Amino acid sequence: MRVHVVDPPAYTPPYDHALCGALARAGAAVELVTSRFAYGDAPEPDGYARRELFYRLAPGRPGSALRRAGKLAEHVPDMLRYRRQARSADVVHFQWLDVQWLDGHLLPDRPTVLTAHDLLPREPRAGQARAQHRLYEAVDAIVVHSRYGRAQLVDRLGIAPGKVHVIHHGAFTHLAEQRAEQPLPLELRAVEGPVALFFGLLRPYKGLEVLIEAWRGLNHGELWIVGRPRMPLEPLHALAPRDVRFIPRFVADDELPAFFRRADIVVLPYSRTERLDWSGVLATALAFGKPVVISDVGGFGEVADAARLVPPDDPAALRAAIAELIDDGAARAHLAEAALAAAHGPYSWDLAAKKTLAVYESILR
């Protein structure tokens, strides 16, 4: 089977790489069609081909208004160019489509799958949610990462049940197994005592204010907040005690393992939101066998055996869970074992690829 995995904005290179590699191991001929990753080197293809077709001329630095305008200007010509080239594929699997109000009209005339990484836009502009719904209607199949995500699309948005398929987000074991790793930054190597890690894009719905409020007064080591900011950080700095460190930048794949290996626990205190399905950071924590404290939102409850769930937006409950795990080595060891079992079992990429190929075969029939 000839498969194109398409990620025009290159939002999720680790996901694209892991999915393409697993599909190739399962026997598919896979090509990743994407754009240049703006923040560093993308993973080297492993059993699949990679082509940078989109946004080749976009100027400006990553995230700038100039670059966004350039990408928008190139979007339609690039989608039309890809539409012609998609004739060589049996199935086209889009990971992201950024211009929802246009993309439903630009899809190739091939069996088409869309992964709903965001059930709906997390910070929607006017009309964007309606456009996303129309895009769902235009594709042949939709992949979500949890039963919660399927219920949101079927029960709340009215998408046909037969179109929506639950395939777990694979754990990023390739990051945990890579050999070429960068050490921690110098200022972090000397840190003694327990470390709680928040990792990922810093965005309003991630619950960082709740996390800092929960951390105040714990005196249980250090809290590291690591990731590229997508929100003002000044209010967080004003709230944070001295044992909270901010590393506000993109962390490349070869740097990432050092942060996860050093962390005693990973904390993901996301706020209540109906738009959240699953989390790539959670998939990373499972791969590294890390005890996780996570808000019971979206599809997170479905990995309850391998994580400690707390109510969202509840600093007291979050504080108690963090303190308990930092103090209780046996509890941490139990969650670590469960996390690794999940990463190599129901959240493995080989199982995800097997289920994904079954979706492709169903729409080809």
Q: Is the pLDDT of residue 122 over 70?
A: no
Q: Is the pLDDT of residue 98 over 90?
A: no
Kindly state the average pLDDT of the residues 33-52: 93
Q: 2-170+348-364 with 176-343: one CATH topology? A: yes
HSE (CB half, 13 Å, CA atoms) of 86?
Answer: 22
Q: Is the pLDDT of residue 274 over 70?
A: no
Closest C-alpha to 171, from 44, 43, 303: 303
> What does the pLDDT read at residue 110?
96
Contact indicator for 259, 199 with CB cutoff of 8 Å: yes
Burial class of residue 164 in the structure, from the number of CB atoms within 10 Å of its CB (0-12 exposed, 13-18 middle, 19+ buried): buried
Q: Is the pLDDT of residue 17 over 90?
A: yes
> What does the pLDDT read at residue 195?
97
Backbone angles phi and psi of 58, in degrees to 5: -60, 125
Q: What is the pTM of this model?
A: 0.93
Kindly state the average pLDDT of the residues 274-301: 92
Give the torsion sign (CA, 252, 323, 264, 270): negative
Rg for the chain (alpha carbons), in Å?
Answer: 20
Q: In this predicted model, what pLDDT tens digit does every residue of 63-85 receive, in sequence order? A: 788 888 888 899 999 999 999 99
The residues near 126 (Cβ < 8 Å, ≥ 6 apart) are none
Answer yes or no: CATH 3.40.50.1100 is held by domain 2-170+348-364.
no
Q: Is the pLDDT of residue 295 over 90?
A: yes
> What does the pLDDT read at residue 178?
82
Q: In this predicted model, what pLDDT tens digit does every residue of 195-204 receive, in sequence order? A: 999 999 999 9
> What does the pLDDT read at residue 90?
98
Contact indicator for 48, 24 with CB cutoff of 8 Å: yes
Kindly state the average pLDDT of the residues 232-255: 95
Q: Where are the domains of the chain?
A: 2-170+348-364, 176-343
Q: What topology is assigned to 176-343 in CATH?
A: Rossmann fold (3.40.50)
The torsion angle over the Cα atoms of residues 105, 106, 111 and 116, rounded to 10 degrees, is -80
